[in-house]
Structure 1
Amino acid sequence: MTNINNLEDEKKYNKWIVVLSILIPIAVAVLFNVKLKDFGFNVEPLTFLPPIYAGINALTAVLLVLAFLAIKNKNIVLHKKLMSTAIGCSVIFLLMYVAYHMTSDSTKFGGEGVIRTVYFVILITHIALSIVVIPFVLITYVRAITNSIERHKKIARITFPLWLYVAVTGVIVYLMISPYYI
């Protein structure tokens, strides 16, 4: 059972959760369309980043699965470390993703027919769920650090598959578009 102090502790974070859940997608959308060269910066395109941030997505997926297995085996300390690392990886991914798009033009998918439809279904669900998962991750994390464990478990059952889907589809999107990078 969650006690009142845990709920009060959670409430302290709610404004930050709302702000970050709105600000992160807006900032990414805006920065995605900002090119540093348009502001006079002589920056080489960071074309080496996509395989790196795809790798970070893959690592995040592995960390999530390992964290799930750790908690199933009641290894709370390992679970916490793995989850903190997964959050760190997601932040690093996001920074690299934005840096790439601020220095490089977007790559167009060149596939045709059914594979094109498959690609866009995966891409659109990936993008939509990458926005949706932000508050889930933040709420899940706050419930863990405020020791609202029962409430943490309830939302983690939703957060885990969403976040795992976003991490895995990020890799799939990269693999599908990588032949079309210039």
Structure 2
Amino acid sequence: TLVWTDFPALESYVMHPKLFRIAHRICLQGRIKNASTLHAELSEALLKLWRVRIGHPNLKMPNYKKGLKNGVGLEEFNVFAAVDAEAPVAVDSSKAEDLGDIRRVAYGHDISGLLFAAYAGQIKNTLHLASKEALERSLCAAIVNAPEMAEEHLFVRMRSWASGECSGVV
């Protein structure tokens, strides 16, 4: 079975504000900032990384930790410190909120990588998630059964296909 998402990855769905609040409550137990603030800061960091990827599609995994001021928090994520200095960046001064749906630029590995780099101590010691991969799986698990997922276009179409209401390409 081939599933083609509306976004870069299934993990991208967690960046919908409602789903992020659910994941924040379940996975992060509400302990890392408040959901709205964390979503906004994470969105800005994801947008910065996406701008690098536009001109550098084979970008190696960023060193998220190097992009963090004082090693903690996402407020002033420096994408230039996190990626190869030679990576071209698409010039665009718009903020993530101007982009519309941040899920269009949210790569799953970046979501968990940024969160883990910025809050590793809390995530490991308080939430007992030992790696960014464990965090990524936890975020996916938190949203997969959320009723909001059933409303997403991809899942409406998949449910329709699975029930035999449509055939061929979905």
TM-score, length-normalised on structure 2?
0.30
Greater helix share, 1 or 2? 1
